[in-house]
Amino acid sequence: MSVSSSHPAALEHLGPGWFVLVMGWSGLAMAWFRAAPLLGDNAPLLGQAAATVAAGIFLSLVVAMALRLSRYRAAVQADLRHPVKHAFVAALPISLLLLGTLTVTALDPTAALGPILWWMGSLGELAATVWVLARWLRAKEQGGLQWPAVTPVLFIPVVGNVIVPLAGIPLGHEAWSAAQFAIGLFLWPALLVLLLARMVMAGPLPGRMTGTLFIMAAPPSVIGLCFLQWELSPATAWGAWGVALFSILWALTQLSVLRQQPFGIPHWGMSFPLAAFAALSLRLSQTPGGEWLSLPATALLAVASVVIVGLTLSTWRGLRQGRLLVPDA
């Protein structure tokens, strides 16, 4: 996807949040691969297509981000100091984790690239989580955490940690996977309580951040997939599915607010959570007693696909019209 824009310094405004595009398409690829038992051989082909799109976007963004770092170092530093944008730093290692997971579990399990991507993503995600949470220990005047900065975006570092076992277990790194998974499992409810307290103390989220409410469904969706990966009782995964379902239904109550907002990258906050929830639903439909979920899971996959394709088209249109890579309002 091109990052060109009519704005003369478009590259200056290409923040780390753009890696959520890779997360969305990678999550959709995972969902399509898990649909094979229900939809047949065409499902993996669509999964491969989605993975190819994700890889293409990732490579384009890496090149663009490198150019941005060399030309607009001050803008990069400003993103790292920003009370909300700094958490998007974790989207880069998460993208590596997801691409590594797709390589290991679906595309080419024998390729050396999969483990390399997985280790880079795992260690990078751990570093990003520590760095993001270290800001909380600072004084307010030094960029410490404040109520207005508490948004669902803070869940992004958590999501990355719980993704680790999806490829870590097949690779034979079960101990490390369990250790990093536990970090996310510990932080997820803490951040949820913090977000609820923020809404009480500082009011609802700004309208343009409404799409990020869907991010709350991502941790339980991935956690449920990991429970199944570990072959734990399906009841544990069903419990995670219930929490993810509630999170999506809760976010949907603000759909009218979301529709009133001009399109922006925060809209992509719904992409990976919807795809991950569809993947978990498809996987649960293949467990004993879960057959009833087959049709709803297929419908969820269709919805996630339409949403992500629609977000991609809106992003392309926004880039062509010069409405995205511009200074924040």
Tokens 């290409």 identify what position?
14
Closest CA to 272 of 192, 211, 187, 215: 215
What is the widest separation between alpha-carbon atoms in the chain?
57
Contact 38, 282 (CB under 8 A): yes
Distance CA 37, CA 43 (A): 9
Distance CA 116, CA 50 (A): 21
DSSP code for 136? G
Q: Which amino acid is at 266?
A: P
pLDDT tens, position by position, 38-90: 999 999 999 999 999 999 999 999 999 999 999 999 999 999 988 889 999 99
pLDDT tens, position by position, 250-260: 999 999 999 99
- The fold of the 10-320 domain, in CATH, is Glycosyltransferase (1.50.10)
Model confidence, pTM: 0.94
Distance CA 254, CA 199 (A): 14
Query: How many CA atoms are closer than 13 Å to the CA of 122, on its beta-carbon side?
Result: 24
The pLDDT value recorded for residue 159 is 82
Q: Which has more pLDDT, 96 or 200?
A: 96
Averaged pLDDT score across all residues of the chain = 92
Share of residues in the chain with pLDDT > 90 (%):
79
pLDDT higher than 60, residue 189: yes
